[in-house]
Amino acid sequence: MVKVVVAGGGWSGCAAALSAAKAGAQVMMLERTDMLLGTGLVGGIYRNNGRFTAAEEAIAMGGGDLFVAMDANARHRGVNFPGHNHASFYDVSTMEPLVKKVLQHYGITIRMKTRIADIVKYGRKIQALVVDSGEVVDGDVFIDATGTSGPMGNCLKYGNGCAMCILRCPSFGPRVSITAKAQVKEIMGQKADGSYGAMSGSCKLNKDSLSGDLRQRLETEGVVVLSVPSNLARNSTLGKKACSQYAIAEYATNLVLIDTGHAKLMTSYFPLEDLRTIPGLENARYEDPYSGGVGNSVRYLGMAPCDNTLKVESLENLFCAGEKAAIIVGHTEAVITGLLAGNNAVRHCLDMKYLELPRALATGDFIAFAHDQMATKDGLRLRYTFSGSVYFERMKATLLYSTDRAEIGERVARTGLTDVYNRCLV
Amino acid sequence: MNRRLTASCIDINTPYCPCLLAETNHCVFCSHLRGQPVCDCNWGGVCILYEKQWQPKNVMAKNGGGPSRTDELGRIVRREPLGKDTYLLEVAVTEELARGLEKTGAFVFLRRPEDPQFFHFPVGVMKVEGRNLQMVVEAVGPKSNRVLEDQAAELLVRGPYYNGVLGQPWIDNITCGKILLISGGMGQAPALPIAAKLAANRNEVTAILAPGHVGSVFIEAELVGLGVKTHVVDSLRRTGFALVTGRLGDGAEKPDLIVSAGPDEQHYGVINAMQAAGLNLPMAATNNSTMCCGEGICGSCTRETQDNRIIRTCKVQTDFTQLL
Ligand SMILES: Cc1cc2nc3c(=O)[nH]c(=O)nc-3n(C[C@H](O)[C@H](O)[C@H](O)COP(=O)(O)OP(=O)(O)OC[C@H]3O[C@@H](n4cnc5c(N)ncnc54)[C@H](O)[C@@H]3O)c2cc1C
Ligand SMILES: Cc1cc2nc3c(=O)[nH]c(=O)nc-3n(C[C@H](O)[C@H](O)[C@H](O)COP(=O)(O)OP(=O)(O)OC[C@H]3O[C@@H](n4cnc5c(N)ncnc54)[C@H](O)[C@@H]3O)c2cc1C
Ligand code: FES
């Protein structure tokens, strides 16, 4: 029996666990908090711009379960907002239990409130993960899906301090990177000015705290754009954001609100007093991070050096996914890398050739492109996503961007990867 | 029982953290406060970098040298001989210091008010009653003699310090367990508060006591009062350790935790007894390192561990069996 252990239960960990289970492995996933999805608990936007293509490729490859779950739980579909087309928003307040059910259906053992604090390594092989209680969890192959957010000290040093986000470090203990514990030197993402890390690009208001009228508009239309009084426009914060797809001028003069269950505000943080001067937001308060008036989580400190199969360099049996695998932003991005890492983890145990997604697919080109860019100095200062910025431009230029399901299905068929994630390898 | 001593620094979560080590970029816990670029800590329930952030910015300028303990004047209210060159001292201190010392492994530094700072030396607190500290001091050399000489009426007391017992978290966290406590000579002074803590947590404690250097067993009555089963032997070396091996070999008596309160030679004797019985139990042991500042700075208390780390034992917790 092949035993795969996944560290971290964000979107990437969930996808990796799912994909390994579908490939026939016995899978255990360990998550330090009491909820799965990690930063996906406060996101919600998917299928916008090139993410549509990426999701459809994953579906054609047989890894669609999580996208199907998102679609089933969407509050809005086909919404356009500045710079973004055909977006869907899943309901962040009800997504998690649904994903847990999907994973349990595949027989995955999920252990919550189980934080990995260390590893046991022998030569180039990880033997086991050590939980902070001292318990040792062994496995044949491991997946580092611990993300890159926080912990508190990093948010303090590279951001405005802990703003009390969904990761809840004081309650559950800090994020610990498996890769770093294995003494592999990690890559640090940078801001435009060269300093380390990047601040998360959106915060969420409590919907009940909006004016009745605004709330109603938001719920019917999915998106509301409010203009920011000129004395409050904030061009200077643009370079610091994690989400370069929202670092466009329109977002400096407008406040974009999105209905994801919370009222998602497309800016890293916004001082509460200033926010409350905007009509409709007179009584606004933050939902996530709790101190969204002050700051937000800092991410991209510690990516694992890995190749395009997502195997971590200089270790035999560690794969990585999500933000751990490259400076990538997004649930969709986390899921497509998770699917690949999970499948390759099983291949490792069976001595099979690793899967590498071809560049003829948007998902394959994306992973390869992000890795190529990260080898350059300027590339470390950008973030990569199907939904905007450099990579979406590239998708359009190379004709990889498509919203035609049938065409995407054929594209996958031409690479011979149709249903590759549905095949039991064991 | 969790065998790892995760609380690596004893001062975390106390008013003495972040300390001068953090101030000088040598925190033993927080990687940022050691000059590293990103977080890599083992979590003490509190983010030390944050604590540092909230600390007044000019700590070094304050208190004549940062967030360290200060000396306070204590009045000697009782001085009673217990054995050869050994006295029970009862010293009245402030409420704040007395409360701060009600913790397993707590100790203070003592010296005469007229003596220079380098005369001060560490002394464990045997008992805190109201605002009075009971301590036992054996006159062995220049520093200890000074505090006992000339019927001194007052002493400078500096504290509270906490790392008097290696394995302190085990003692604090075990409940309803079986404990074997071995204590000889001066080790009886720290043994008493340890036994009191263990008894309060409904543990079944058996103590093997020997008079040692001091020439008397002075805590037996108190231990019996706490519900501890006591066995007094003439000498640990001659009969005590054999008794320990015997109890360890007996399945029904096998303890969950061994506590050795005494000199390092005694700790090694206990380790040998465990090896003879083919057991490897968690062991807490009194900390006998030479300490001069107690603040992690002077370096007199450093010891090397089996994994080649140099640790400052006035602050850092470790398993005694891991020391070289
Ligand atoms: C505020 C915010 C809003 C966002 N909005 C969107 C959006 O609308 N659309 C979108 O596509 N993307 C959004 N993103 C980005 C997206 O959420 C992430 O890029 C993606 O979900 C990352 O997934 P991940 O699995 O790599 O990491 P994470 O989501 O960070 O998950 C890592 C998980 O690992 C756990 N973990 C860490 N260390 C350990 C350990 N030692 N032991 C056990 N568990 C551990 C963590 O608790 C966490 O659950 C948003 C991000 C943020 C912060
Ligand atoms: C945590 C702790 C608690 C202690 N509790 C007590 C106690 O309750 N009662 C008691 O009488 N003694 C206690 N000691 C030991 C006491 O500190 C020494 O006996 C004292 O410092 C001896 O100093 P001296 O000048 O009298 O003798 P010296 O002649 O200088 O030394 C005699 C011996 O004492 C030890 N010693 C010397 N200086 C120090 C020092 N700075 N720190 C530690 N050990 C030293 C050395 O092993 C030396 O061989 C404790 C020590 C520690 C570390
Ligand atoms: S006693 Fe000074 S460093 Fe420990």
Distance (Å) from the alpha carbon of B179 to chain A's nearest alpha carbon: 22
Give the residue from chain A lying closest to B31, CA to CA.
A153
Residue to substitute from B1, B31, B47, interface A, most A β-carbons within 10 A: B47
User: Do residue A156 and residue B49 have CB atoms under 8 angstroms apart?
Assistant: yes
Distance (Å) from the alpha carbon of A196 to chain B's nearest alpha carbon: 9
Q: Cα-Cα-Cα-Cα dihedral of A146, A151, A155, A158, to 10°? A: -70
The Cα–Cα gap between B7 and A11 comes to 32
Distance (Å) from the alpha carbon of A154 to chain B's nearest alpha carbon: 6
Q: Which atom of ligand 2 is nearest to the CA of B189?
A: 8
pTM summary value: 0.87
User: Do residue B43 and residue A173 have CB atoms under 8 angstroms apart?
Assistant: yes
Name the token pair of A265.
């505000």
Kindly list the domain boundaries of chain B, sorted by start residue: 17-62, 71-161, 165-323
Which residues from chain A sit within 8 angstroms of residue B6, using beta carbons? 132
A196 — contact with chain B (CB < 8 Å)? yes
Read off the DSSP letter of residue A229: P
Residue nearest to atom 15 of ligand 1 (CA): A330
Measured CA angle at A328 (ends A327, A332), to 5 deg: 165
Which residues from chain B sit within 8 angstroms of residue A170, using beta carbons? 45-47
B118 — contact with chain A (CB < 8 Å)? no
Return the pLDDT at B3. 55
Label residue B249 by pLDDT band (50, 70, 90).
Answer: confident
Q: A225 - beta bridge partners? A: A256
The Cα–Cα gap between A46 and A52 comes to 7
List residues near ligand 1 (CB under 6 A).
A 7-13, 30-33, 38-40, 42-46, 115-116, 145-147, 149, 167, 175-176, 200, 202, 297, 322-324, 329-332, 334
Across the range B249-258, mean pLDDT stands at: 89
Nearest CA to B300 out of B118, B126, B123, B104 is that of B118
> DSSP string covering A64-91, please?
-HHHHHHHHTEEEEEEEETTEEEEEEE-
Read off the DSSP letter of residue B298: S
One-letter amino acid of A173: G
Nearest CA to B188 out of B271, B111, B88, B313 is that of B88
Name the token pair of A99.
């994903």
A303 — contact with chain B (CB < 8 Å)? no
How much is the ipTM here?
Answer: 0.81
B1 — contact with chain A (CB < 8 Å)? no
The sign of the torsion formed by the CA atoms of B255, B221, B85, B156 equals positive
For A381-412, what is each residue's pLDDT tens digit?
A: 999 999 999 999 999 999 999 999 999 999 99
Kindly list the domain boundaries of chain A, sorted by start residue: 3-77+87-194+299-422, 198-288
Q: Of residues A241 and B196, which shows the higher confidence score?
A: B196
For B205-228, what is each residue's pLDDT tens digit?
A: 999 999 998 999 999 999 999 999
Supply the CATH classification number for the domain B165-323: 3.40.50.80
Residues of chain A with pLDDT under 70: 233-251
- Ligand 1 center to B162 CA (angstroms): 39
Strands B229-232 and B204-210: parallel
One-letter amino acid of A242: A
Is residue A283 within 8 Å of residue A290, measured between CB atoms? no
A24 — contact with chain B (CB < 8 Å)? no
Q: By CB neighbour count within 10 A (0-12 exposed, 13-18 middle, 19+ buried), where does B252 fall?
A: exposed
Which residues from chain A sit within 8 angstroms of residue B39, using beta carbons? 150-154, 174-175, 301
Residue from A47, A115, A146, A260 to probe ligand 1 pocket by mutation (most atoms less than 8 Å from CB): A146
Q: How many CB pairs under 8 A join A and B?
A: 56
User: Does residue B20 carry a pLDDT above 80?
Assistant: yes
For B50-85, what is each residue's pLDDT tens digit?
A: 888 887 766 665 555 556 798 999 999 999 999 889
A196 vs A16, A152, A236, B40, B139, CA distance in Å?
A: 28, 15, 17, 16, 57
A149 vs A197, A199, A297, A313, B208, CA distance in Å?
A: 9, 9, 6, 22, 52
Please give the class, per CATH, of domain B71-161: mainly beta
Return the pLDDT at A238. 45
- Ligand 3 center to B314 CA (angstroms): 5
Q: Of residues A85 and B152, which shows the higher confidence score?
A: A85
Give the residue from chain A lying closest to B32, CA to CA.
A153
- Read off φ and ψ for residue B118, nearest 5 degrees: -70, 0
Under 8 Å CB-to-CB from B255, ≥6 apart: which residues?
A: B177, B178, B179, B180, B206, B247, B248, B281
Which residues from chain A sit within 8 angstroms of residue B32, using beta carbons? 153, 157
| Per-position b or e across B255-275, b if 16+ CB within 10 A of its CB | bbbbbbbbbeebbebbbebbe
Chain mean pLDDT for chain B: 92
Ligand nearest to the CA of A326: 1
Name the token pair of A194.
């060269």
H/E element, A180: helix A178-181
Which residues from chain A sit within 8 angstroms of residue B45, using beta carbons? 170
Return the pLDDT at A236. 46
Return the pLDDT at B59. 62
Residue from B28, B161, B292 to probe ligand 3 pocket by mutation (most atoms less than 8 Å from CB): B292
Supply the CATH classification number for the domain A3-77+87-194+299-422: 3.50.50.60
Is the beta carbon of B291 within 6 A of some atom in ligand 3?
yes
> DSSP string covering B110-164, please?
EE-TTS-GGG-EEEE--EEETTEEEEEEE--SHHHHHHHGGG--EEEEEEEE-TT
User: Do residue B47 and residue A162 have CB atoms under 8 angstroms apart?
Assistant: yes
